[in-house]
Amino acid sequence: MFFDIFTGLPLWVQVLFWAVLAITVSSFVSVTTLLVFAARFRARVRGDVRRDPGGMSEERFLWVFLVPALNEEVTIADSVARLRQVAATHVMFLVINDGSDDRTGEILDGMDDPRLRVLTRTAPHAREGKAAALNAAYAHVRSELRADPALSMWDEDHVIVVVVDADGRLDPEAPRSAARHFHDGGVGGVQSLVRIYNRRGWLTWAQDVEFSSFGLVFQAGRAWWGTANMGGNGQFNRLSALASIDDGSGPWRDRLTEDQDLGVRLIQAGWAGVQDNSVAIDQQGLNSLRRLYRQRVRWAQGSWQALELLRGIPRLRVPFLARVDSVYYLLTPALQLLTGFALVVSVVLAFASGVPYRPSHWWILIFFMTLSFGPGVVTLALRGGRWYSPFVALVLVIPYTAYSWIVFPVLAVGLFRQLSGRTSWAKTARETQGMDASAVGDTGGDGAHERRGAESDRTVTPP
């Protein structure tokens, strides 16, 4: 009875549908597994907090905040002002003015804070992308540590490099919370929970759900194994960990998702990656569907580029389940695209070939509905954190699923761009502080950089 559910369809369609069924089941198993380990990780963190409510001595570290900025006159003053409020004893703010031709440099020159330093990049080295800007800052930090007597006391194991984009609003308690994780010398990176602060409409609400669900479920589950990845904005990296993957030009590579690339390579180099959901970094979301598509195509193309990282999986020193999950994580764009193609095929068969668009057995519909919507309901309920959240999640899963499918075509567009060698992107404007959300610009790590080659950003829809 089970094995004849696709009987009567062309053979190639049967093979396709069986493959997608396997992907759907494996996705459900993956989410369930990560939920279990996420619960264990949260319990472990709660235990650490009970044992040391004040934090693991953040004063043992030098916190270096890197802020990439290109034409950020709209946000840079607010960004630096918020960073100056962080609860860190030893701190340095390094803003990379990456060839700005607006008032960014002028605004920075008017700030009087001994902790603030500005690294000004000019042509022909400016505007080469976020990875190049961060590598320049990384080299500057290392040279400063050696040359400045006030900083020479810090060894690279106790220097934490924090990336905060110009639209980022980091929780002031983030260093104290991150210090708990960096107390373990094997931890190379800690990623903060990413939230959207201008969530005034359906699109920005959905993006906030997407980011928070990714952190609360997928990242937290992987943090149990030490395989949580970095997200660009609000990521903390131990300087010695960055140095271990420095290929001569710096730890960041010229990739569309340079943050994902760096995080995976840190894990493959033997460092643990951890998610910290007790603090968040808020950033701008997109309230324009056109701009959202444009941003997500970059993310999708970056995920296709990340397939080359599969070669490093054998080097992972993690449990077997973590290895399997790491492969699944990197293969996500291919698995998602195949699933979307199967949906298109089913619709075409229904309307062009007369194949009934209905299950041959009633239990098949329940089975697929559970596998398709179950993970979304669970993550939405977990995000709510209230007794009534599961009931609200049953309602909210419909608009969130619609959002997921609306942006789904970016996988195909991203693949086409990658295969055709198109990697250039133009900068889009940020939302002015206090403006209506309809004026919002790009969010994520790449929004500050126009470039001749690739532009950085986060990865595509959470796997």
DSSP label at residue 156? G
The pLDDT tens digits for 217-276 are: 899 999 999 999 998 899 999 999 999 999 999 999 999 899 999 999 999 999 999 999
- Reply yes or no on whether the pLDDT at 435 is more than 60: no
Distances (CA, A) of 180 to 25, 168, 426: 36, 22, 39
Residue 117 has pLDDT above 60, yes or no: yes
Structure confidence at residue 223 (pLDDT) = 97
Q: Which of 197-211, 301-315, 347-361, 405-419 has the lowest mean pLDDT?
A: 347-361
Domain count across the chain: 1
Report how far Cα 195 is from the mean position of its chain's Cα atoms. 11
Q: How confident is the model at residue 360 (pLDDT cuts 50, 70, 90)?
A: low
pLDDT band at 450 (very low <50, low <70, confident <90, very high): very low
Residue 89 pLDDT exceeds 50: yes
Question: What ranges in 11-168 are assigned the alpha helix state H?
Answer: 11-51, 76-83, 104-109, 130-147
Residue 378's nearest CA partner among 400, 363, 362 is 400
pLDDT of residue 330: 96
Q: Is residue 439 scored above 90 in pLDDT?
A: no
Share of the chain above pLDDT 70, in %: 86
Helix (H) or strand (E) segment spanning residue 230: none
| 456 pLDDT more than 70 | no
Find the mean pLDDT for residues 371-387. 75
Reported as a single tens digit per residue, the pLDDT across 49-71 is: 787 666 568 899 999 999 999 88
* Lowest mean pLDDT across 53-57, 183-187, 357-361: 357-361
Helices (H), 64-173: 76-83, 104-109, 130-147
Question: Cβ distance 250 to 138 under 8 Å?
Answer: yes
pLDDT at 2: 60
Does residue 305 carry a pLDDT above 60?
Answer: yes
- The whole-number pLDDT of residue 203 equals 92
* C-alpha span between 152 and 392 (Å, rounded): 54
What was the pLDDT predicted at 19? 93
3-class SS of residue 199: coil
Tokens of 92: 């340095």
Q: How far apart are CA 182 and CA 157, in angstroms?
A: 9
- Paired with 396 in beta bridges are none
Q: What whole-number percentage of the chain has pLDDT above 90?
A: 51
- The pLDDT confidence band at residue 418, using thresholds 50, 70 and 90, is very high
Closest to 319 measured CA to CA, from 225, 441, 443:
225
Instruction: Return mean pLDDT, the chain.
Output: 85
Q: Is the pLDDT of residue 104 over 70?
A: yes
When computed from its CA atoms, the radius of gyration of the chain, rounded to whole angstroms, is 23
- Statement: residue 438 has pLDDT above 50: no
pLDDT for 430: 60
> Among 159, 158, 181, which Cα is nearest to 52's?
181
**pLDDT band for position 131 (50/70/90)?**
very high
Tokens 């990780």 belong to residue? 41
pLDDT score recorded for residue 302? 93
> CA–CA distance from 412 to each of 64, 350, 452, 455 (Å)?
39, 22, 23, 18
CA–CA separation, 318 and 333 (whole Å): 23
pLDDT band at residue 355 using 50, 70 and 90 as cut-offs: low
Residue whose C-alpha is closest to residue 332's, from 435, 456, 415? 415
CATH of the domain at 225: 3.90.550.10
Per-residue pLDDT averaged across 409-421, rounded? 93
Q: Is the pLDDT of residue 291 over 80?
A: yes
What is the pLDDT at residue 441? Answer: 36
Closest-CA residue to 201 (of 328, 289, 132): 289
Question: Tokens 């960004």 belong to which residue?
Answer: 79
Angle formed by the axes of helices 202-213 and 289-305, to 10°? 30
Q: Token digits for 44?
A: 């472990």
> Which amino acid is it at 350?
A
Per-residue model confidence (pLDDT) at position 440: 33
Please give the structure tokens belonging to residue 205. 């609400």
Say how far apart CA 39 and CA 457 lie, in whole Å. 28
What mean pLDDT comes out for the span 20-37?
90
Other C-beta atoms closer than 10 Å to the C-beta of 364 total 15
Q: 0.75 cut: is pTM over it? A: yes
Is pLDDT at 321 greater than 70 in this prediction?
yes
* Amino acid 460: pLDDT: 37
pLDDT band for position 455 (50/70/90)? very low
Per-residue confidence (pLDDT) for residue 453, from 0 to 100 = 36
Cα(132)–Cα(448) distance, rounded to whole angstroms?
A: 12
What whole-number distance in Å separates Cα of residue 27 and Cα of residue 286? Answer: 27
| Model confidence band, residue 426 (pLDDT cutoffs 50, 70, 90) | low
- How far lies 102's CA from each of 52, 97, 116, 118, 453, in Å? 46, 11, 20, 16, 22
Query: Per-residue pLDDT averaged across 136-159, rounded?
Result: 90
Rounded average pLDDT over 304-324: 95
Q: Which has the higher per-residue pLDDT, 453 or 322?
A: 322
Does residue 175 have a cis peptide bond before it, meaning omega lies within 30 degrees of 0? no
Please give the order of strands across the beta sheet that includes 159-163: 116-121, 91-98, 62-69, 159-163, 235-238, 187-196, 272-283, 169-170
Structural domain span for residue 111: 1-463
b/e for 95-134, b at 16 or more Cβ within 10 A?
A: bbbbbbeebbbebbeeeeeeebbbbebeeeebbbbbbbbb
Residue appearing with tokens 């094997």: 186
**Residue with token string 């296709």:** 304
Over range 372-384, report the average pLDDT. Answer: 75
DSSP for residue 426: -
